[in-house]
Structure 1
Amino acid sequence: MAGGSTKAVVAALTANLGIAVAKFGGAFYTGSTAMLAEGVHSLVDTGNQLLLLLGMRRSKRPADTRHPFGYSREIYFWSFVVAVLLFTAGGTVAIYEGVQKLSHPHPVTNPIVNYVILGLAILLEAGSFTVALREFRKVANAQHWWSAVREAKDPVLFTVLFEDSAAMIGLAVALVGLVGAHLLGAPALDAVASIVIGGILIVASLLLARETMSLIVGEAASPALIDAVEWRIRAEPSVADVRDINSVHLGPHDVIVTAAVDFEDSVPAGEVERIVARIIAEVRSAQPDVRQLFLAPTSFVRSSSAPA
């Protein structure tokens, strides 16, 4: 789903860049703190998309002597950086601006300008969100969305989805704050909206950081993939038993699998080598995500009877 990830990121980048320019223009023209917080939010999101594209590009570099298993994990690192930036640059600035306006409130001028900008921003964000959601559903299948996020190995899709979701909620909060400040003559509501937007960004960043940290530490492949690998190994007539199957995702589509395999004692060592090579080739052909498969020929104790 690398193509789907790229499509979602590019859609979000295009939307956020245009929205950021419009929001900052509206904030400086009308003096709305909530609009300024939303402008910072969109600017941070734009930077995040660029970092995700950078991570996707760098993760495709081939293995070398310093990194013999390649650079696939870089996409996990850059996704974690995005989560941190969403907290530090997005949430913190929004809360700070809101607190500052609560201390020194001033009315919002020309609110109609902000309404128009927010309306356009909602349309653009909705388009970006639709693309991200459609690509995410292709991966999630029939799973509940949170279960799909927990099981997902491609952080790009759920990062964009979280960002767009936070953006949609933030826009709704900004709109409510502006309407309240305008109709009720209460500038404090605009400041409160900015603080709430900051809180939304912090919650989104913490959720993203939690999920990407788990990927950085190393998550196992899906049970379905492991079952498929085990089935192929056991299908070999000369295999007596398979144990200790372990796996780890180095990237969304880069899995290492190891297994201890007990061959029948009658199979010569040279034949074992040929069988192992054939199993590895067939597994990698059937399961492209399995980039490395290590089979360790060993001998298991097949009888638990104790000597008399």
Structure 2
Amino acid sequence: MANRKRSGESLFTVLLALGANIVVALAKTVAAIITGSASMVAEAAHSWADAGNEVFLLQAERRAARPSDDLHPSGYGREAYVWSLFAAVGLFTAGAVVSILHGLSQLGTGEPDKDYLINYIVLAVAFVFEGISFAQSFRQARSMAAERDTGTLEHVLSTSNPTLRAVFAEDAAALIGLVIAFFGVLLHELTGNAVYDAVGSILVGILLAVVAVVLIDRNRRFLLGEPAPDRVQQAALAAILQHPEVERVTYLHLEYVGPERVFLVAAVDLVGDDREADVADDLYAVAQSLERNEHVAEAVLTLSKRGAPALLPRDSDTEDLR
């Protein structure tokens, strides 16, 4: 239930960002055409790239939510990282590369004076819309970080939810980019030198490139099999040991197979000395019980190697397998 609630919250965050980016992209495009400002061209490219990326993120939410089947017993959660990776690459190519190349092409062109008021109005309106979208993603991130007793930024960088990370990063970059564009236009107006506007476009492109590279790297790590953090490991260990059939756990491996969903492999010693068939039934029963937790996509248990030392649990919330 909690996972579905968070999924619905992520979907709302993406839809809000998509709507804001479309409105802002249209306004920036009109301003860029009228004024010819290099910074506004960069900002328009940025917003259109963000809008396109939100479509990828909606696809990520939809496809990752499909239930498991015989071909994918751990579900389709990793699709979220595939589509989020597409979005990050799109941000790099359609946003960063276009902005940098356009800024470089405008260096030394000596643009004529123009009506700067249009740029200021569009930038102000864009800041309001982007601010609303960022506030939503920030609230969601802060709420989830508080549940895990960690910092908001730390949670955004480490979370297994790529949609939240992408929207948060893109909205934050959008607000910073608007400030850069404002100063590029302002310095152009004050000095009459178009190089400041061009440099603003280049700086926006560099900002987008940095954000895109971080997002690409995080999605790459989860696609390769990101191990669950110690907090989740300890919660899983406590969840296994609460079963009366289990005497000790000697091996535990958890890796993310989707947003807040893990694949669990454990080696355990069972209480007593039951027959092989009874042991298999006990292992299956414990695995089935673990899979009833919405954060466990699949659990596989086997018997411990003779003489293997037990893993020592710490005090953990057995429900906190996120």
Note whether the superposition's TM-score is higher than 0.5: yes
* 1:300 matched to 2:306: yes
Q: Summarize the alignment of residues 59-74 of structure 1 with structure 2, pairs less than 5 Å apart.
A: 59-74=64-79
Aligned twin of 1:240 = 247
Structure 2 Cα separation of the partners of residues 2 and 236 of structure 1 = 30
User: Residue type matched to 2:161 in 1?
Assistant: D
Aligned twin of 1:255 = 262
Root-mean-square deviation (CA), in Å? Answer: 1.9
Structure 1 Cα separation of the partners of residues 181 and 142 of structure 2 = 28
Normalising by the residue count of structure 2, what TM-score does the alignment of the two structures yield?
A: 0.88
> What is the total number of aligned residue pairs between the two structures?
302
After superposition, what is the alpha-carbon deviation per residue over 1:134-173, rounded to whole angstroms, capped at 9, x for unaligned?
0111221142234213420001101111101110011001
Aligned twin of 1:109 = 114
Deviation at 1:226, TM superposition (A): 2.6
* 1:289 matched to 2:295: yes
Structure 1 Cα separation of the partners of residues 107 and 191 of structure 2 = 16
Structure 1 Cα separation of the partners of residues 76 and 28 of structure 2 = 37
User: Residue type matched to 1:16 in 2?
Assistant: N
Deviation at 1:264, TM superposition (A): 3.9
Structure 1 Cα separation of the partners of residues 190 and 262 of structure 2 = 57
Indicate the SS of the match to 1:262: strand
Aligned twin of 2:162 = 155
From 165, 168, 185, the counterpart of 2:172: 165
**Aligned-pair identity (%):** 34
Q: 1:50 to 1:302 in 2, by over 3 A?
A: closer
* 1:29 matched to 2:34: yes
Structure 2 portions without partners, runs of 5+: 1-5, 310-322
After superposition, what is the alpha-carbon deviation per residue over 1:38-57, rounded to whole angstroms, capped at 9, x for unaligned?
00100000000001001111
* 1:214 matched to 2:232: no
Q: 1:165 to 1:238 in 2, by over 3 A?
A: closer
Structure 1 portions without partners, runs of 5+: 304-308
In the alignment, is the contact (CA less than 8 A) between 2:180 and 2:200 conserved in 1?
yes
From 16, 19, 27, the counterpart of 1:14: 19
Deviation at 1:220, TM superposition (A): 1.8
User: Residue type matched to 2:158 in 1?
Assistant: E
Aligned twin of 2:105 = 100
Q: 1:230 to 1:37 in 2, by over 3 A?
A: same
User: Residue type matched to 1:113 in 2?
Assistant: I
Deviation at 1:254, TM superposition (A): 2.4
Bigger Rg, structure 1 or 2:
1
Normalising by the residue count of structure 1, what TM-score does the alignment of the two structures yield?
A: 0.92
In the alignment, is the contact (CA less than 8 A) between 2:228 and 2:254 conserved in 1?
yes
After superposition, what is the alpha-carbon deviation per residue over 1:189-237, rounded to whole angstroms, capped at 9, x for unaligned?
1111111111111111111112111111111223333323322333344
